[in-house]
A and B are shown apart, each in its own frame.
Chain A
């Protein structure tokens, strides 16, 4: 019952919290840390994740504005509030959503040096940069913006819904070095993306007419897969679920990682995750617009019997055609990079490992981690310092301080506990914003339950 209450509390929290996997990275030897670095060390014989509950994480992050700036109840109208936000943001600001649910996960020790882990998780990953120019154009039009070039290149978004089947191996190659790798098969249920667009729309005062409108060097490509089938939107949720179970567009990727002990107390680790792609070949619909077009109005030649409007349409179709196609395309996964240095110190204790030997560990550790994810516009970084404390063999905690795009004072905390064979962990992020999470640009939560066997 208590666990049900706990789970329920977590699930309520998921709507408003999100994740920071820097806290989870190399934390307490959790099986889920192998998804962040397959080269991390584990000391159990095998593990089984509680189905659907072994790893749940969700994040909603934004730069440039917070929810309360738009939705707070005050005397300002919603139009005023959105207008204020529009004035504040720039094209580098973005909204990001990521949710992962581990459907199942397990692992076993193949031999003394090798641990094999595998599983399946579903992921929703979306990022949309805020196209300030397009939003301004939609919101206010072009009348007040003579000579302003509205940029089409700001239109950048990418949304993936996919299932990931993975299997990985961690191998201790020496007393100092552990290497790991993981192979992933992606099954994409939905992909929407537009990146690397070019072009501008400008209205200027003209010579022949009052205005001249310019669409200059437009190259816009919006790709979709899994959304439209036989010219109809796929509205059946079960189709998306089926497609995430190897029924969709398939791809492959790898994770690689290592841990290196410079000294017994100084550890260096790193990983590259999701270096892979999805080949989209089914249920594709792409929209492509390429060209330049100048419009200064309709020039009358009296008594000419010309069909001006038809000529106008023909010219625009010729000079800046809108093309729909079903061409296959490749979508790269957002690769992530983790690098960490960790210094252990304090009381030296021992714990039983898988082979009934004792393994020494220090009760305290501190260090720094650098996290980076490759996103369409630019790489995003997060720099984290951390302190980790083992209160006993069964209870560990970690506190982090992170500087990233969203905050310069993000404090996170993680706790991992083990009772009998049951391990549970919970991670909260951005604690300083707990008093008003609606004004935070990011807050996060991860939790999970595992069965660990020595």
Chain B
């Protein structure tokens, strides 16, 4: 049995000599992924015809109103881990008139739960308007229930209609950045 003794001793010695610096696998519980996901949102280009109508035989200025579903927050991972929403807008107004813009976040029942813009003024002949609205979810938890976005845009001064022959346009672009934080 001498060989067994020598062999066992040698191997056990090797195991005792081998060592590892202390590792802490529990650190993984503190690991937080923090992705910022950018997504395009709504865009449009509208001309004078969208803002003019005939009421009782007379030309009149109207506002335009459009709503779309936006159901990214129905994804449970996004909903549970969303910490901030950054809305970014780029607007080009070729008219020499001022417009007002409302952007509302609506819930599934179309109730307004947050006003991103409430009468945001779009100056005339402004070709490079940029705006950013940051919503910290902790401050506005109701935003987590938004499933629709509503846009309302109209002339500030509705007493004078736009020139129907004008080739001017309003171009609107938007995006959203969803900041998420999730532990493993």
Report whether A424 and B28 are in contact in the complex, using a CB–CB cutoff of 8 Å: no
Q: B38, B70, B175: which has the most chain A beta carbons within 10 Å?
A: B38
Residues of B within 8 A of A335 (CB): none
- Let me know if A142 and B38 touch, CB within 8 A: yes
Q: A13-B15, A303-B64 are in contact. Are A203 and B38 (CB under 8 A)?
A: yes
Instruction: Determine whether B127 belongs to the interface, using a CB cutoff of 8 Å to chain A.
Output: no
What are the interface flags for A185-213 relative to B under an 8 Å C-beta threshold, 1 for contact and 0 otherwise?
A: 00000000000000000010010111111
Contacts of B30 in A (CB 8 A): 77-79
- A-contacting residues of B (Cβ < 8 Å)? 1, 3-5, 7-8, 10-12, 14-15, 17-25, 27-28, 30-44, 46, 50, 64-66, 68-71, 88, 90, 151, 173-175, 177, 180
Of B27, B34, B37, B50, which is within 8 A of A302 by CB? B50
Residues of A within 8 A of B20 (CB): 16, 68, 436-438
A6-B12, A73-B22 known; A300+B90 contact, CB < 8 A: no
A428 contacts partner chain B, Cβ-Cβ < 8 Å: yes
A 432-454 binary contact with B (CB < 8 Å = 1; else 0): 00111111000000000000000
Q: Is the CB of A144 within 8 A of B36?
A: yes
Q: A73-B23, A78-B31, A300-B42 are in contact. Are A208 and B173 (CB under 8 A)?
A: yes
Chain B residues positioned under 8 Å from A295 (CB to CB): 40
Please determine whether A82 and B43 come into contact, CB atoms closer than 8 angstroms. no
Q: Within 8 Å CB of A302, what residues of B?
A: 44, 46, 50, 64-66
What are the residues of chain B within 8 A of A140 when measuring CB–CB? 34-36
Task: Please state if A143 and B38 are interface contacts (CB–CB under 8 Å).
Answer: yes
B8 touches A309 (CB 8 A): no
Q: Are B19 and A139 in contact (CB under 8 A)?
A: no
6 contacts between A and B (CB under 8 A): A10-B11, A67-B23, A72-B22, A143-B37, A434-B14, A438-B21
Of A82, A300, A309, the residue contacting B31 (CB under 8 A) is A82
Would you call A298 an interface residue if the criterion is a C-beta within 8 Å of the partner chain's C-beta atoms?
yes
A303 CA to B68 CA, complexed, in Å: 12
What residues of A have a CB within 8 angstroms of the CB of B18 in the complex? Answer: 434-435, 437
Q: Which residues of A contact B50 (CB under 8 A)?
A: 302
Choose among A137, A303, A307 the residue that contacts B69 (Cβ–Cβ < 8 A): A307
Is the CB–CB distance between A71 and B173 below 8 Å? no
Which listed residue, A73, A211, A301, touches B24 by the CB 8 Å rule? A73
Separation of A140 and B21 alpha carbons in the complex (Å): 30
Question: Are B24 and A71 within 8 A (Cβ)?
Answer: yes
* In the complex, the 10 A-B pairs of residues with the closest C-beta atoms, listed nearest first: A141-B35, A297-B40, A309-B69, A434-B18, A300-B44, A143-B36, A209-B43, A71-B23, A438-B20, A210-B175
Instruction: Answer whether residue A330 sits at the interface, using C-beta atoms and an 8 A cutoff.
Output: no
Q: Is the CB of B23 within 8 A of A72?
A: yes
Q: Do residues B3 and A394 form an inter-chain contact, with CB atoms below 8 A? A: yes
Given A300-B151, A302-B65, A308-B69, A428:B14 Cβ within 8 A = yes
Where the two chains meet, the residues of A that have a C-beta atom closer than 8 Å to any C-beta of B are: 2-3, 5-6, 9-10, 12-13, 16, 67-68, 70-73, 77-79, 82, 137-144, 203, 206, 208-213, 295-304, 307-310, 394-395, 415, 417, 419, 424, 426, 428, 434-439
Give the tally of cross-chain contacts (CB within 8 A).
167
Q: Is the CB of A296 within 8 A of B36?
A: no
Q: Which residues of A contact B43 (CB under 8 A)?
A: 208-210, 296-300
> Which of A13, A304, A419 is B3 in contact with, Cβ under 8 Å?
A419
- Bound complex: CA A140 to CA B33 (Å): 7
A417 contacts B15, C-beta separation under 8 Å = no
Contacts of A10 in B (CB 8 A): 11
Q: A140-B36, A206-B40, A415-B7 are in contact. Are A435 and B19 (CB under 8 A)?
A: yes
The residue in chain B whose Cβ has the minimal distance to the Cβ of A391 is B3
Give min CB distance, A312 to chain B, whole Å.
9
> With A and B bound together, what is the CA distance between A144 and B174 in angstroms?
17
CA of A3 to CA of B14, assembled, Å: 16
A309, closest chain B residue (CB): B69
A231 CB to nearest B CB, Å: 20
| Chain A residues near B70 (CB-CB < 8 A) | 298, 309
Closest Cβ of chain B to A83, distance in Å, is 10
- Chain A proximity of B29: nearest CB distance (Å): 9
Residue of A whose beta carbon sits closest to that of B31: A78
B11 adjacent to A426 (CB under 8 Å):
yes
A78, A137, A309: the one contacting B35 at CB < 8 Å is: A137
Q: Which residue of B lies closest to A416 (CB)?
A: B7
The residue on A at minimum CB distance from B182 is: A138
**Which residues of B lie under 8 Å from residue A299 when comparing CB positions?**
42-44
Q: Are A419 and B23 in contact (CB under 8 A)?
A: no
12 more A-B contacts (CB under 8 A) besides A5-B8, A300-B43? Answer: A2-B8, A71-B25, A143-B177, A209-B40, A209-B41, A297-B173, A298-B68, A300-B42, A302-B44, A394-B3, A424-B4, A438-B23
